[in-house]
Amino acid sequence: MRNNYGTLDAIERLVRSGEIQTGFHKLKSMNMLEWTIESAVLKFSGEFGKEIREAAKWRLEQAQRSTKI
């Protein structure tokens, strides 16, 4: 995906997607949400638009609240 779209666009596509990726699930199960793409979006927020930042923040908040994600 990164080769096809470039790094930033690939990240945006992953975060915008309605599907939670398996890597996110794995990192959550290991209590390592700070290593997710969503966390990178927030860390480098100047690189991303408001919609992507809000989606990333929402996913992380949901993951911290839920035992299912």
Answer yes or no: are the C-beta atoms of 38 and 56 closer than 8 Å.
Answer: yes
Q: What are the pLDDT digits (tens) for 9-67?
A: 999 999 998 888 899 999 999 999 999 999 999 999 999 999 999 999 999 999 988 76
Tell me the pTM.
Answer: 0.86
Q: What are the pLDDT digits (tens) for 16-27?
A: 988 888 999 999
Kindly list the domain boundaries of the chain, sorted by start residue.
2-65
DSSP letter, residue 30: T
Buried-exposed string 32-41: b where 16+ CB fall within 10 A, e elsewhere: ebeebbbbbb
